[in-house]
Chains A and B, each alone.
Chain A
Amino acid sequence: MAVLRFICCLAVILITGLMPAHAARDSITLGMQLEPPHLDPTSAAAGAIDQVLYANVFEGLTRFAPDGSIIPGLAREWTISEDGHVYTFDLAENVTFHDGSPMDAGDVKFSLDRARAETSSNAQKGLFTGISSVDVLSARRVRITLAEPDGQFLFNLAWGDAVIISEQNIDTIKTNPVGTGPFSFDRWIKGDRIILKRYPGYWGTPVSLAEATFRFIADPSASYAAMMAGDIDAFPGYPAPETLAQFESDPRFRVTRGSTEGETILAINNKAEHLSSTLVRKAIAHAIDRKAIINGAMFGYGTPIGTHFAPHHPDYLDLTDMSAYDPEKARKLLAEAGYPEGFETTLKLPPPSYARRGGEIIQAQLRNVGISAEIITLEWAQWLEEVFRGKDYGLTIVSHTEPFDIGIYARPDYYFQYDNPDFQDLITTLKKESDPAERRRLSHKAQRIIAEDHVNAYLFQLPQTGVANRKIMGLWENAPTQATDLTAVYWQD
């Protein structure tokens, strides 16, 4: 009898031990491919840091809404002076950091001064260089004076690199981030997960989730296994598109397809031997069949683009016709440029699969018109050294994930080495312009110029495919910035 009881107890213990823990309805486990190297979004920040902390643990004066527009963050109201030089922000009431200390204008001054300092290692220092001074007017009012008017200033303040941090906790920010957001940092089991907990003293709208865990799963097949086994509830940047069909046919899951700010381009070295001719670059553009690349390299996901601008943006101009697939025309253009037999060049590819797979397809399409591109595969550090810094390449494929980054074409020392003074002037004007209608007109003009000059071959916008438990609501479909904003996420029972 005692033996039987013992066996039953053992069985119960074993079975409950083997059963997966039931997900509580106010906690969520998310999968992420890349682990943040540290937890400070304001120095040498990798995108993975914002992916965990943006809007959850840290907040800035303004923030991104799910559709990419800019909405108030810690700054509830602001006024801009007539000449566009002076911004006065009114901060929210009762804001505290996660250690209980109050946040005020002094912390805003500290954060912005630190970001724009000489010795700052803020990865987006360019966002702050236009600031000539930050002044504390009162506990809840701060004035920022710009050297030049900047139509993008409010947009810049929404970036993860511009969040407001606590001066008292600055020494341990890399391992113990203390912010003003609705979730506080709980702990980081290195290599495995980061756990955030709801912060009860949050100044804004309370959040539904009590706990959020981010688990790091780099391998695509491991992410599939973890999702299917129920180890994780959602994977917003799901890395195995070949398995999406199984999730779509499974009633437990929902698959979302959204857009990111990643313009994927075939970058061309505008100063390289054969590629400095606009005719040659135009030929390359017409030799490329975007549909084939999207189907072959991206499993059918991705929106074609005709210029360096995000198609979901209201100011986007569809110029894909300027580079429609036409190999005959490409051959004619090459002959006209003086290369009837084609020429040889290099195609250097960084690690991402869109580059490696897309590269092979492009190589074949270029060979079809006579251009022989030798594929050289590089890892990121080598790519940065050879292509980005050394400009030693002919062609390369990379995705530019910063929002509204058409301004990179105005930098003659950027790795494409495109030097057009008219375009540079246009961008300077656009930067200063605040009126939305005028901004639209100017950005249309900018998009047209780089499309006509065929600076690069614009391929497609990088998609964001996410897989989640069907009962989870409120996750962002698009990625206007690298973030996993959990403020509006809840379980529907």
Chain B
Amino acid sequence: MTMLAYLVRKAVFLAASLLMASLVVFALIEVIPGDPATYMLGINARADTLAALRAELGLDVSAPARYWHWISGMITGDFGISYTYRVPVLDIVIERLAVSVPLALYALVLAITMAFPAAMAAAHYQGSRGDRALLAITQFGIAVPNFWLAILLVYLFSLVLGWFSAGGFNGWSEGISAGMKALTLPAVALALPQAAILSRVMREALIDTMREDYIRTARAKGLTRFQALLYHGFRNALIPVLTILGMQFSFLLAGAIIIENVFFLPGLGRLVFQAIAQRDLILVESVVFLLMVAVMIVTFIVDIAYAFVDPRIRRSRA
């Protein structure tokens, strides 16, 4: 099968999955008890004010009608108006993505920078004290909760040393370096546990690869053990690592909600969490859907990356 046919097949599958997903999201959120208008007006709400607000929010229409409104709007790029904030959902989401995406990428880059060299060194010196030390450290890194780590980082770097502020994000208008500085501690808190996982997976993958015949051939051709690892082993070990990277990016995008709380960052995770509590159904539905789109796109990209990294995968579909 050609590359193009492979991509087209994947794209069709993606679209069908998204449609199914939208139905599931809508149905799940409709089932949750609690009414946005009552939440907004609180315990002094009168019946007539509630009715007026429900009409204003468009809640007095039937569920299938609301689903159709939502889906047809999304196709034209209109994700609806948030009940709580009364501005278009897309505007809010883009504002939050401007924090969450750079944070996720920053954390991922830090994780890769820490994990890959460590994993390669550990695989190269397998069995040595350094290798065993790395295993112990990564064990700790996987076990430690990232919010606990975050609080420790705040204590050390913000309260004691005063190098960073305790949290918050000023926006990109003050310059890229100012923005990145605000994201540094959160990115480190996110990156350390991820790096631990990543280095373990990479190390295992490298060790497995090193046992393959073609590595022996490469050594026979005159490459040192390290050169064989770097030029041949690394690329093959990337496949399981790519899977993990894809999953990690998706997690970092919305799963950083606890870190966003500790550093009071205006990110996507906190937005969804607050929207659920406030029963801002439109916001929750649209953001959850967008996140699913993001995860599927990332999986799609990872699949393409597989095909590029490993020609066997491409050919196996023929």
A-B contact count (CB 8 A): 150
How many residues of chain A have a CB within 8 Å of chain B? 49
Distance A337 CA – B33 CA, assembled complex (angstroms): 36
Does chain B have a CB within 8 A of A1? Answer: no
Does chain B have a CB within 8 A of A122? Answer: yes
Contacts A124-B44, A125-B48, A219-B262; A191 near B267 (Cβ below 8 A): yes
Indicate if the CB atoms of B49 and A225 lie closer than 8 Å: no
CB of A301, distance to nearest CB on chain B (Å):
24
Cβ-defined partner of A219 (8 Å) among B45, B181, B261, B279: B261
How many residues of chain B have a CB within 8 Å of chain A? 55
Q: Chain A: which residue is nearest B49 at the CB level?
A: A125
Q: Chain B: which residue is nearest A122 at the CB level?
A: B49
Chain B residues in 8 Å Cβ range of A376: none
Chain A residues in 8 Å Cβ range of B170: 189, 192
Does chain B have a CB within 8 A of A118? Answer: yes
Contacts A190-B95, A389-B38; A402 near B262 (Cβ below 8 A): no
Distance A380 CA – B165 CA, assembled complex (angstroms): 32
Does chain A have a CB within 8 A of B270? Answer: yes
- Residue-wise, chain A 100-122 has the 8 Å CB interface mask toward B (1 for contact) of 00000000000000000011111
- Residue-wise, chain A 439-480 has the 8 Å CB interface mask toward B (1 for contact) of 000000000000000000000000000000000000000000
Does chain A have a CB within 8 A of B43? Answer: yes
Distance A122 CA – B44 CA, assembled complex (angstroms): 11
CB of B15, distance to nearest CB on chain A (Å):
32
Contacts A225-B158, A384-B39; A37 near B278 (Cβ below 8 A): yes
Name, among A191, A192, A389, the residue most crowded by chain B CB atoms within 10 Å (CB to CB).
A191
Main secondary structure of the interface of B (DSSP, over half): helix
Cβ-defined partner of A44 (8 Å) among B34, B41, B159, B162: B41
Cβ-defined partner of A121 (8 Å) among B33, B52, B167, B264: B52
Chain B residues in 8 Å Cβ range of A18: 162-163
Distance A384 CA – B33 CA, assembled complex (angstroms): 10
CB of A384, distance to nearest CB on chain B (Å):
5
Distance A125 CA – B50 CA, assembled complex (angstroms): 11
B-facing residues in A122-138 (Cβ within 8 Å): 122-126
Indicate if the CB atoms of B266 and A191 lie closer than 8 Å: yes
Q: Chain A: which residue is nearest B266 at the CB level?
A: A191
Distance A222 CA – B35 CA, assembled complex (angstroms): 30
Indicate if the CB atoms of A123 and B44 lie closer than 8 Å: yes
Distance A193 CA – B92 CA, assembled complex (angstroms): 15
Contacts A119-B52, A222-B263; A381 near B166 (Cβ below 8 A): no
Closest A-B pairs by Cβ, 8 of them: A191-B266, A381-B34, A225-B166, A37-B84, A229-B166, A121-B53, A226-B166, A44-B40
Binding site for B on A (CB under 8 A): 17-20, 37-38, 44, 46, 118-126, 174-175, 189-193, 215-219, 221-222, 225-226, 228-229, 231, 379-382, 384-386, 388-389, 398, 400, 402, 415
User: A218-B264, A384-B38, A388-B38 known; 14 other A-B pairs, CB under 8 Å?
Assistant: A37-B40, A37-B86, A44-B40, A46-B40, A119-B52, A121-B41, A192-B170, A218-B261, A219-B262, A222-B261, A229-B159, A381-B34, A381-B39, A381-B277
